[in-house]
Amino acid sequence: MLETSAALLLAHVLADYAFQTDWIVENKHRFKVLALHGAIVFAASWLALGLAPATLPLVAAVTLLHMATDAVKTRLGTGQLWSYLADQALHVAAVFALPAVFAAGWADGLWAGLLPPAAPAVMALAAGLLFATRAGGIAVQLLIAPLLARDWALRAQVNGGGIKGAGAVIGQMERGLAYASVLTGNVAGIAVLVAAKSILRFSDAQKSRKVAEYVIIGTMASVGWAVLTGIALRILVLGLLPGGIPGLLLP
């Protein structure tokens, strides 16, 4: 069952963070656009499970629940951290709960016979990386957006100068490195990462206490998201491969 969940988890993060455009996010209140997103979820899920006809009921259930969750989120309020976290929590919960209800899963698909036994673990690791970097970026942005909205001076200081989009790229690299550090058991790497960023932003933080607090909140939220994702994926991978992955992840 964990193999099925790992495949569906990868399908979910691909559908939400690789194949979902800004246009889809902004227009998901329209049923046709929501249906388009649902079709992407369906295709990604069925492909991840190996295109077996027997898995179609499970794929359909995952898709319908995904669409229903997105529809409720759209109506209750988007652009807020609580709705984003609730939305993702429900999606992930469905990925792990629904396979227990349906008989067919990963073992019935094409990939189970063609790929090595470690394939679901690799899929889980890939899903975790995308969730740590892309999903984490959105969560951190939603967390700090109200801070910037309330203080135009802080917004001017944060957005003034620098390369456009560089902050987002730095954040993704930061979360990716923290995620890898947790998986490899290199906890010291996280401390080095936070220290390095603090040193690089020291001169900016010295100029304003608000900027310093903004940097601390953003960094702690970003690294914290990646660490929690890494811990969760470490547990999942060890559930799939109790012996771990030599050279990467050990019990």
Q: Six-digit token pair at 166?
A: 């560089």
For residue 64, give every residue at least 6 positions away whose Cβ sits within 8 Å of its Cβ, in sequence order, or none: 38
What pLDDT shows up at residue 144? 85
Task: Note if the pTM is more than 0.85.
Answer: yes
Closest alpha carbon to 88 in 144, 132, 39? 132
The length of the chain, given as a count of residues: 251
What pLDDT shows up at residue 190? 81
CB hemisphere CA count around 182 (13 angstroms): 23
What pLDDT shows up at residue 123? 97
Do 157 and 40 meet the contact criterion of CB atoms below 8 Å apart? no
Q: What is d(CA 121, CA 136) in angstroms, rounded to the nearest whole number?
A: 21
What pLDDT shows up at residue 6? 98
- From start to end of 1-98, where are the E strands? none
What pLDDT shows up at residue 201? 61
What pLDDT shows up at residue 4? 98
- pLDDT per residue of the chain (251 residues) written in tens, 0 to 9: 899 999 999 999 999 999 999 999 999 999 999 999 999 999 999 999 999 999 999 999 999 999 999 999 888 876 789 999 999 999 999 999 999 999 999 999 999 999 999 999 999 999 999 999 999 999 998 998 887 666 665 555 555 555 666 678 888 999 999 999 999 888 777 877 777 766 656 555 556 666 667 778 888 899 999 999 999 999 999 999 998 887 777 77
Do 133 and 233 meet the contact criterion of CB atoms below 8 Å apart? no
Domain parsing of the chain, residue ranges: 2-115, 127-240
Closest alpha carbon to 65 in 90, 99, 100, 34? 90
What pLDDT shows up at residue 200? 59
